[in-house]
Amino acid sequence: MQINDGNSACVIQNPAYRTAFFNDNMMKKILIILFIAVLAINAGAQNPLIDLSYPWLYPGYVKENKIKTVVLGTMDSNNETQIRQIVLYFDEAGNAVKEESRIGFLYTMSLHSQTDQKSVWLFESDGQTDTITYLKNTDENSIDRYVATKGLNGQSLQKTTYQYDELGMLQLVVDYDEVVITDGNYNAIEWAVLDSVSVSYNGTEMTMGNEEYRHKMIYDEKGRIQLLHSENFSYGISEETSYQWDIKGMLLMIEWTQEGSSEKTFVTYTYYE
């Protein structure tokens, strides 16, 4: 799934935030779309927002370590000034409940309601509230994500479908053209496919992409991501993101590099007692 506003040549994201390279005018669109990375060693997505956005939060990571919050602070290239900060909040059962930006492009994404088949999140920024709904289709082994934005002519709606196999491994991501609706009947919409991305696996490696770009994620034997290599064929650019872990299996730092530029994101935690 390509992310591009038509004006910028920077169409690959830093998965530490899903916001690197982009100016503030693009941030809302990018955060809504989300960076599509899923765990290579995954017994089934428990929370699509986290599973598909943060490839280093492997299953059980939060609950096993009794994590309350995760703070991601990105420094400038000189490691002198913090330029972005994201805070992830979890309940005592290990479920994600909120994502908040405190520095840079300011937004809050919070869990509004959740059942076994459906979760609804509210994305708030600059006085605008968008609704993000995830619907789990058990019979089809898929998850549909709907992003609803209120406008003057009604409600614009974006849809993405994530197709899994019987083991819960992501196989295909399909984006559909945006539509405008005047009621909440999603089933009556005739969706037109905009883009699709295939996913393949080779041992502890996961590759996803199409003719325009490719993401390759390398994990260790415990399912912890080590390296993400991204290429955009349309613009001839590539980037790498590496992940550093401590001996206890806690992520310490995320380093992004592209053609001589680099950023380091430091990861800190608070815990439930």
Identify whether the C-beta of residue 68 lies closer than 8 Å to the C-beta of residue 272: yes
Q: Does 10 score more than 50 pLDDT?
A: no
Task: Evaluate if residue 168 carries a pLDDT over 90.
Answer: no
In this predicted structure, what is the pLDDT of residue 2? 31
In this predicted structure, the answer to whether residue 247 has a pLDDT above a threshold of 70 is yes
Q: What pTM was computed for the model?
A: 0.78
Q: How confident is the model at residue 29 (pLDDT cuts 50, 70, 90)?
A: very low
pLDDT over threshold 60, residue 64 = yes
Cα(247)–Cα(160) distance, rounded to whole angstroms? 37
- Put residue 66 in one of left, alpha, beta given phi > 0 → left and psi -120 to 50 → alpha: left
Q: What is the mean pLDDT of residues 199-204?
A: 92
What kind of architecture, by CATH, is found in domain 24-271? Beta Barrel (2.40)
pLDDT surpassing 60 at residue 26: no
Q: Which amino acid is at 49?
A: L
Average pLDDT, the chain: 78
209-239 confidence digits (pLDDT tens): 999 989 999 999 888 899 999 999 988 999 9
Q: At residue 9, does pLDDT exceed 70?
A: no
Q: Domain segments of the chain: what residues?
A: 24-271
Per-residue pLDDT band for 252 (boundaries 50, 70, 90) equals very high
Residue 82 has a pLDDT of 92
Q: How do the residues of the chain divide into helix, strand and coil, expressed in percent and rounded to 5? A: 10, 50, 40
